[in-house]
Structure 1
Amino acid sequence: ELLEYAKAGEFYSNHPIGKAILNYGSVEVSEWDIQGHNEKAGYGVNALYCGKEILVGSRKFLESHNIAIDSAEDFGTVVYIAVDSELLGRVIVEDEIKETSRKTIDELNAQGINVYMLTGDNQKTGRHIGKALGIDEDKICTNLLPQDKVSKLEEIKSKSKKGTIFVGDGINDAPVLAMADIGISMGKIGSDIAIESSDIVLMNDDPYKVLEALNLGRKNHQVVLENVGFALGVKIVVMVLGVLGIANLWLAIFADVGVSVLAVLNASKILTKKD
């Protein structure tokens, strides 16, 4: 019964937690039995199912509807379910840490990049996952709503000298993805609005691709500086030789066409770094 009402509330959800609930167990819900559905981003869902009013969402969401919940803080992401203003129970979803996540964060820290975790999960869950990932305790920010994530990123941006990158996948992450200097979303599990708001989409949802993108960006930047420096250097030298009457036509052609060809050849070395 609990799972049936939970699925009815999450029936139209694109959030990974909602999908996890919908895909769990053999209980099925008919769309024809859902007479109403209203989602409040970052809080929960208010639905009308088989004539009963269902609330599915966070502790704050149910408490805002005057439904009392005990003070115990469960481990994991907790989704509370209430029917006709009475608490029916809760569903606990635990995040699964990807194999490459710890490696990614370790290498980012080694490069001097500060890593923060912004999550809507409760403090107990957030700190447990953050510790497993090797994130400093003072950089683990929990119980954040979408507007709280925006405020926190603004605070982080004010401290950053080189800019910020935000990686996210949900509807709640969309404002922060758009606000960050570089927004990176997950292509497989990410919501449509998160993908639209981001600058880069990771098609296989592998966090280590964030590090690969940074390394590739550095290589591109290095090649651009090499090409600009080489091109300007050759042209200045030929210009000086021309003023002194030493440069001939062929040297001028080399300074123009030849430098362009050499710049292309220098840039093509990036192709050997595709792995």
Structure 2
Amino acid sequence: MNKKQKRWRNRIVLALVIFIVVYAVEELGVLGAIFGAPGDLYASFALFLIPYLIAGYDVLQKAWRNIRHGQAFDESFLMTVATIGAFAMVFFPEAEPHMAEGAAVMLFYQVGELFQSYAVGQSRKSISDMMDIAPDYANIEQDGQLVEVDPDEVQVGDIIVVKPGERVPIDGVITEGVSQLDTAALTGESIPRHVEPGADVISGCINMTGMLHIRTTKPFGESTVSRILELVENASEKKARTENFITRFARWYTPIVTGAAVLLAVIPPLLGMGAWSDWILRGLTFLVVSCPCALVISVPLSFFGGIGGASKLGILVKGSNYLELLSKVDTVVFDKTGTLTNGTFNVVAIHPEAGVDPDYVLSNAAYAEAFSDHPIAVSVRQAYSGEIDQARIRDVKEESGHGVSAHVDEHVVMVGNDKLMAEHGARWHECDLTGTILHVTVDGRYIGHIVIADVVKDDAEQTIRDLHAAGVTKCVMLTGDRRDVAEAVGGKLGLDEVHAQLLPADKVSAVERLLGFERGDAKLAFVGDGINDAPVLTRADVGIAMGAMGSDAAIEAADVVLMDDKPSKIARAIRIARKTMRIVWQNIVFALAVKIAILLLAAIGVANMWLAVFGDVGVAIIAILNAMRAMRVKGV
């Protein structure tokens, strides 16, 4: 609890103690013995007024302030009118005294408000603790000394120093140092990430071991940490349709029930249907029950809890409207490269000819590709464990789209596709594996081939199974890759549809066609890397950006941002969204059902003020407790 909540709590405890003492004194007949009748009634009025004012003076102030500003119809107004009305029953001595009920209503209303404040604070804390990634300073080196400066003062291209235990304040590239980075606050991933010179690092990560020198690539205001904090802070502004409905409902509901309570208190006695005191008490009870705080508080709190719970797992949802849409997703469309696959080429197989050592095939290919920056060439060099002596290489010729040739130790080495082989009259043969095939010849003799492929992510297959288990009826992959490669990936993962050899515009058309098949409230989600898939992310009902650490395009275009590259988070995000919506509707149905029942009982005179207290405060507390379940995502 913060200091304000503690003062609030202490005030309520004091009022509660006084209330219990006064109530005991009244029930034991002490007031009657001292003051007689009707003096005991006025003494009771004065004594119960003390805990009432201690507990509720701020509610009375708020109600008066709102009335002056023309915004009367809120829960403060309802509580004020109902409780003052209960005390005003002193003017009807023939009726039972209701000062105790008036004080109790205010007391328990304040207990409920305090509990609600605590619940909202806990929900906000779960986000702020997880997102406690905003650095207070950045270290720069001046005259051989480290100086702490405001991160806003650091320019793009400046070198900052991050010591072990400190957070990386600004996005950049490591120029010096080797370390482990804790990315848990951003990704929910507990395993540290190894970094060394040349590695990109993003703000918000914690440097764990060695000192790092980082050249900044963005100003602080545009770095990952700033963008994420802005995203989280703005999430509450984008309300779900259900949340907006509750807000509009309360706006109309409150004046209607206030008017109904007035009519209930006035019309029947005017028609001679009973004593004024009875009907006024029914009207006051009706007012207490009608307070919509259970709905007005628990529904936004449920959404806020769902967003906070998701953020603990490194899933950032831009608003409760997207959480609601996500709960209705029945079709998930994936980009392939970087989403279901790692997006980097790897040597997956080496097939030498008979009598040839596989290392001989790989070493010749690595030497021939020594000077190329093509991703395929890089993957070949990474697979080769030896050092490449560039002095052994000369006369390198790149043949665009076909491959490369080079002299290595006076031998002519050719590495490339079947077109290169055919062009130079070399003998070669096909491979059964799916991927990019690099044929290798030495002095015109075919020595074998290397298979290079974009490797499927470890959890991609499980992702599709989890999505189907979660009720997603169709998982589709769109890719610009070759059809045979796409179908091989689709078959391995168990996808329902695969569409290959698509340009970016074709992907938008494919998504629009799939959207045309959606029926009722069903929604379509597109999952991409957030950079070249921005048009499709925007077109889908829900755009989900994968592996978006530091990607401005992802944070801008997507509705849901996954802070690591694990597609398995998608099924968890959908389950969190559905759990949140279940909680929202549980609260709506429960609160309305109880209130309608007690309102009817109050109208016919069966419900007393104590039942009204439960109908308001009790229902609110139960709904808030239920809403807080949305924050628990451990087993989701």
TM-score, normalised to structure 2's length? 0.31
Whether the aligned pair in 2 keeps the contact of 1:153 and 1:176 (CA below 8 Å) is yes
CA distance in 1, matches of 2:524, 2:603: 47
* Paired residue type of 2:510: K
Q: State the alpha-carbon separation in 2 of the partners of residues 268 and 221 from structure 1.
A: 13
- How far apart are residue 268 of structure 1 and its match? 2.1
Are positions 1:143 and 2:501 aligned together?
Answer: yes
Q: Structure 2 CA distance, aligned partners of 1:174 and 1:77?
A: 27
The answer (yes or no) to whether the contact 1:166–1:176 under 8 Å persists in 2 is yes
Residue number in structure 2 paired with 1:180? 540
In 2, are the aligned partners of 1:168 and 1:177 still within 8 Å (CA)? yes
Residues 193 and 246 of structure 1, relative CA distance in 2, 3 Å threshold: same
**Aligned residue in 2 for 1:202:** 562
Q: Alignment identity in percent?
A: 41
**TM-aligned CA distance change 1:3 to 1:120, over 3 Å:** farther
- 1:250 alignment partner in structure 2: 610
For the 8 Å contact 1:76–1:121, the answer to whether it is kept is no
Matched ranges for 1:61-140 at <5 A: 75-76=434-435, 94-110=453-469, 111-136=471-496, 139-140=497-498
Unaligned runs of 5+ in 2: 1-367, 389-399, 402-417, 423-429, 438-450
- Deviating above 4 A after TM superposition, structure 1's stretches of 4 or more consecutive aligned residues are 1-5, 23-27, 69-75, 188-191
Question: Higher Cα Rg: structure 1 or 2?
Answer: 2
Which residue pairs with 1:166 in the alignment? Answer: 526
- 1:169 touches 1:189 (CA, 8 Å); kept in 2? no
* Residues 220-254 of structure 1, C-alpha deviations (whole Å, 9 max, x = no match): 11111110001000110111011101122222232
In structure 1, C-alpha distance between the alignment counterparts of 2:608 and 2:452, rounded to whole Å? 75
- For residues 512 and 370 of structure 2, the distance between their equivalents in structure 1, rounded to whole angstroms, comes to 39
- Partner SS for 1:206: coil
> Partners in 2 of 1:121 and 1:190 — Cα distance?
25
Opposite residue 228 of structure 1, the aligned amino acid is: I
> In 2, distance between residues paired with 1:267 and 1:189?
30
- What CA distance in whole angstroms lies between the structure 1 residues aligned with 2:493 and 2:615? 52
Classify the secondary structure of the residue corresponding to 2:475: coil
**Is contact 1:238-1:252 (8 Å) kept?**
yes
Q: Secondary structure at the match of 2:544?
A: strand
Q: 1:5 to 1:189 in 2, by over 3 A?
A: farther
Task: Give, in angstroms, the shift of residue 269 of structure 1.
Answer: 2.8
Change (3 A) 1:266 1:185: same
Residues 209-220 of structure 1: pairs in structure 2 closer than 5 A: 209-220=569-580
Give the letter aligned to residue 518 of structure 2: S
Aligned partner of residue 184 in structure 1, secondary structure: strand
Quote the offset at 1:4 in angstroms.
4.4
C-alpha RMSD over aligned residues: 3.7
AA in 2 matched with 1:123: R
1:162-196 Cα distance to aligned partner (Å, 9 max, x none): 01011110532111111111111123578431332
Q: Secondary structure at the match of 2:491?
A: helix
Structure 2 partner of 1:31: none
Structure-2 separation of matches of 1:182 and 1:204: 18
The answer to whether the 8 A contact 2:544-2:559 is kept is: yes
Q: Give, in whole Å, the separation in 2 of the partners of 1:233 and 1:93.
A: 63
**Structure 2 matches for 1:30-69, cutoff 5 A?**
none
Q: Answer yes or no: is 1:153 the counterpart of 2:478.
A: no
CA distance 1:150–1:274, shift in 2 (3 Å): same
Q: Give, in angstroms, the shift of residue 94 of structure 1.
A: 2.0
Uncovered stretches (5+) of structure 1, i.e. residues with no partner: 8-16, 28-54, 57-68, 79-91
Deviation at 1:124, TM superposition (A): 1.2
Deviations 1:105-159 (A, max 9, x none): 12322424200000110111111111111113xx100011111000000001111
| Cα pair distance change 1:177/1:233, threshold 3 Å | same
Counting matched residue pairs gives: 218
Change (3 A) 1:237 1:172: same
Distance in 1 of aligned mates of 2:572 and 2:630: 13
